Structure 1
Amino acid sequence: MLRQALLLLHLLAAMAWMGGMFFAYFCLRPSAVEVLEPPKRLPLWLATLGRFLRYMSIAVLLILASGLGMLLPLGFQAAPAGWHLMFALGLVMAGVYAYVHLALLPRLRAHCAASTWPAAAQVLNAIRQLVALNLALGVIVVLAAVSAR
């Protein structure tokens, strides 16, 4: 019963994280570029990322905790190779998330407050690239999960 609860939390948190990144990258970003000028677009991104990253703080912690909660009873040596790959990439993804949230988001906030739009756009572009990286890593994690069964 505990394993099913951990798996449910793990999957729900992963769906929120991956789905949010997919939406931001493939839907919100092109639409915002299409209809908003930088003085409107960059504050929209700041507000959106601020909300999203707060929720993802919970999701990332749930993913790591539930993943470890399922891995530790089995043991690292008995775990399938796919689980090791999921764990390693999950740590990398969490590190990328932390960098975006703790380093880049405050820079974006400062540039938006100062109305330095070119600098804000550079920071947002760095965030976009890291979201693309995490999306790609997330796809590999899903492939690892499927192959581990």
Structure 2
Amino acid sequence: MLQPLLLLIHLLSAIFWLGGMSFAYFCLRPAAVEVLEPAQRLPLWAATFARFLPLTALAISALLLSGLAMLMRVGFAHAPLGWHLMLTLGLLMSAVFAYAYLGCYPRLRQACQDAAWPQAATALNRIRQLVALNQLLGLGTVVAAVSARFA
């Protein structure tokens, strides 16, 4: 009974994180660039991140805890290689997220409060690069998950 619940938490958390990044990167970003000037676009991103990043931190915590719980039930030595790859990539993705949230986002927020649009744009661009990196790492993580299923 515990295993299906852990898997559900794990999958829902991954869907929220990866889906949220995909929506922001491929849909919101181009639309915001198309219709908003920097003085409106950059505060929109700061406000969006104020809502999305804490929820993502919660999803990442649930993802890591549920993944570790499932891994410990099987044992590290008996887990498929794909699980080890998922853990490694997930920890790397978490570190990238932490840098974006704790390092770049405060700079974006402060620059928006100061109406320092070039600095805000620089911070947002760095976050965009980190999201792109995490999208690639996330794709690798999904491939690792599928490979573990059929190993």
TM-score using structure 1 length? 0.99
Structure 1 equivalent of residue 139 of structure 2: 139
State the 1:50 CA deviation. Answer: 1.1
Q: Percent identity?
A: 60
- Please name the residue that 2:60 is paired with: 60
* 2:102 match: 102
> Structure 2: which amino acid aligns with 1:3?
Q
In the alignment of these two chains, the number of paired residues is 149
For residues 45 and 141 of structure 1, the distance between their equivalents in structure 2, rounded to whole angstroms, comes to 27
Shift of 1:52: 0.4
Give TM-score, length-normalised by structure 2. 0.97
Counterpart Cα distance in 2 of 1:62 and 1:108? 27
Q: Look up the match of 1:148.
A: 148
Task: Please list the CA deviations of residues 17-69 of structure 1 after superposition, one character each: whole Å capped at 9, or x if unmatched.
Answer: 00000000000000000000000000000000110001111100000000000
Q: Which amino acid aligns with 2:102?
A: L
Q: 2:89 is matched by which residue type in structure 1?
A: L
Alpha-carbon distance between aligned partners in 2 of 1:98 and 1:25, rounded to the nearest angstrom: 18
Q: Tell me how far apart the structure 2 counterparts of residues 47 and 13 of structure 1 sit (CA, whole Å).
A: 22
| Aligned Cα root-mean-square deviation (Å) | 0.5
Q: Unaligned 5+ residue runs, structure 2?
A: none
The residue matched to 1:90 in structure 2 has which SS?
A: helix
Structure 2 CA distance for aligned equivalents of residues 97 and 126 of structure 1 = 12
Letter in 2 for 1:86: M
- Equivalent position of 1:113 in the other structure: 113
